[in-house]
């Protein structure tokens, strides 16, 4: 069994995206009998990428697209994913892969068309839905704006692809149920599976690891550190976390954001609140010392299919405040303090944790109990392989 894992991510995206969740599965899947290669946008031939860009630029001149930024952005995103999927199908045929696993339905559409074009009907293909519900809705909420007609068209294609794939996976049962509702299905199809992300390889904090992490990061021993993790995009609602932290008016409070993207708007907001010197934004490949050195973890996302960073916080034993959206309650269970996603509630909840060390210890115990019950990479790898075998 030879499996080609396909994502549209770049090397930079892997820091906070699918690469972090897929990497721990590679060795266990090999042990279970599946050779796996990770194929992403960085693996494309530069000349082919340029040809695709030139072709897309011509399409952008069409009357129905020209001068409409939303349609231009949608066309670029769609053509990029279709291209990655199509090229992955070519690699699968040339290098004798038995399975192609696309990590969004637009990629899967490119894979399916490519396998048919290349005459590789014996290659099995399927996909994972990483958004909460339909991918068109998830991308719309992530800033790729789509009008009602465009979204209805994309959802029809997505439904078609998802019903013809050999497998569809989602990281939570709630996500599968929402996807079925979005596609107007009466029930979740039998070839759709809930496969959560594996337990991250993050050891629980100890006093020694906390002190060592702080020394390595240059944090002082007496700082109160709030950690938030994710891409610097509006749906993560980091602005609410900044406001909640600034409202504490605690000089020794540090807010550490880990994420890639443009931080200028968030930094401007912090400065306007008199909190600029206490906000720190970092992009890193190694998140472990940050989880070990922090005092509190916060997530205020407006939508979240799973929330891998939330699970990492629980594994580290961090007291966690999370907005109760999407698949988050299913992942965190009673291991995190789940709250409505508004600034006032976030402010009050954070104040309670910062003021009471025993309360933080209580949530640490609950976090570790939840993490201890989470399936290991070996368990998730066996699920993947069983689904591939069934295909």
Per-residue pLDDT in tens (0 to 9) along the chain, 391 residues: 999 999 988 765 555 556 677 888 889 999 998 999 989 888 898 988 898 899 899 988 888 888 889 889 999 999 999 999 999 999 999 999 999 999 999 999 999 999 999 887 789 999 999 989 999 999 998 888 898 999 999 999 999 999 999 999 999 999 999 999 999 999 999 999 999 999 998 999 999 999 999 999 999 999 999 999 998 999 999 999 999 999 999 999 999 999 988 999 999 999 999 999 999 999 988 899 999 999 999 999 999 999 999 999 999 999 999 999 999 999 999 999 999 999 999 999 999 999 999 999 999 999 999 999 999 999 999 999 999 999 8
What b/e sequence results for 352-385 when a residue is b if at least 16 CB atoms lie within 10 Å of its CB, and e otherwise?
Answer: ebbeeeeebeebbebbbebbeebeebbebbbbbb
- The topology (CATH level 3) of 207-372 is Rossmann fold (3.40.50)
**What is the residue-wise DSSP string for 319-365?**
-EEEE--TTHHHHHGGGSEEE-SSHHHHHHHHHHHHH-HHHHHHHHH
- The topology (CATH level 3) of 2-198+376-390 is Rossmann fold (3.40.50)
Note the pLDDT of residue 48.
85
| pTM for the full predicted model | 0.90
Q: Which contacts of 22-25 are long-range, i.e. CB under 8 A and separated by 24 or more positions?
A: 24/198, 24/200, 24/201, 24/377, 25/198, 25/377, 25/380, 25/381, 25/384
Alpha-helix residue ranges (DSSP H) falling in the chain = 18-22, 26-31, 46-59, 69-94, 105-117, 135-141, 148-164, 173-182, 207-217, 238-246, 264-272, 288-293, 308-316, 328-332, 343-355, 357-372, 377-390
**What is the residue-wise DSSP string for 173-198?**
HHHHHHHHHHTT-SS--TTEEE-PPP
- Listed in order, the ranges of the chain carrying CATH 3.40.50.2000 are 2-198+376-390, 207-372
CB of 259 closer than 8 Å to CB of 281: yes
Note the pLDDT of residue 24.
85
């Amino acid at each position: 069994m030879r499996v080609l894992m396909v994502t549209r991510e770049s090397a930079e995206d892997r820091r906070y995206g699918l690469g972090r969740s897929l990497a721990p599965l590679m060795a266990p899947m090999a042990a279970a009998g599946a050779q796996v290669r990770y194929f992403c946008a960085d693996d494309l031939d530069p000349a082919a990428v340029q040809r695709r860009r030139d072709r897309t630029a011509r399409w952008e001149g069409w009357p129905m697209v020209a001068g409409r930024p939303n349609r231009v952005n949608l066309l670029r995103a769609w053509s990029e994913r279709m291209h990655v999927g199509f090229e992955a199908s070519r690699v699968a045929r040339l290098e004798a892969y038995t399975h192609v696993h696309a990590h969004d339905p637009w990629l899967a559409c490119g894979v399916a068309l490519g396998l048919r074009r290349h005459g590789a009907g014996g290659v099995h293909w399927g996909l994972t839905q990483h958004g909460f519900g339909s991918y068109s809705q998830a991308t719309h909420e992530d800033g790729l704006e789509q009008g009602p007609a465009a979204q209805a068209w994309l959802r029809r294609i997505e439904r078609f692809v998802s019903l013809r794939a050999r497998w569809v996976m989602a990281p939570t049962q709630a996500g599968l149920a929402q996807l079925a509702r979005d596609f107007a299905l009466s029930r979740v199809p039998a070839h759709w599976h809930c496969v959560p992300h594996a337990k991250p390889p993050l050891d629980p904090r100890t006093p020694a690891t906390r002190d060592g992490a702080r020394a390595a990061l240059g944090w002082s021993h007496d700082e109160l550190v709030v950690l938030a993790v994710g891409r610097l995009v509006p749906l993560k609602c980091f602005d609410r976390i900044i406001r909640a932290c600034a409202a504490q008016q605690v000089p020794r409070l540090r807010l550490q954001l880990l994420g890639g993207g443009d931080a200028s708007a968030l930094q401007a907001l912090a400065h306007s609140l008199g909190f600029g010197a206490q906000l720190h934004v970092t992009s890193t490949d190694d998140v472990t010392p940050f989880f070990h050195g922090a005092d509190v973890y916060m997530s205020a996302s407006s939508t979240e299919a799973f929330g891998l960073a939330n699970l990492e916080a629980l594994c580290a034993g961090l007291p966690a405040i999370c907005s109760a959206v999407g698949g988050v309650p299913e992942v965190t269970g009673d291991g995190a303090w789940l709250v409505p996603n508004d600034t006032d509630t976030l402010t009050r909840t954070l104040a309670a944790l910062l003021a009471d060390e025993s309360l933080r210890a209580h949530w640490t115990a609950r976090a570790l109990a939840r993490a201890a019950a989470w399936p290991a990479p070996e368990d998730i790898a066996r699920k993947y392989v069983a689904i591939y075998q069934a295909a």
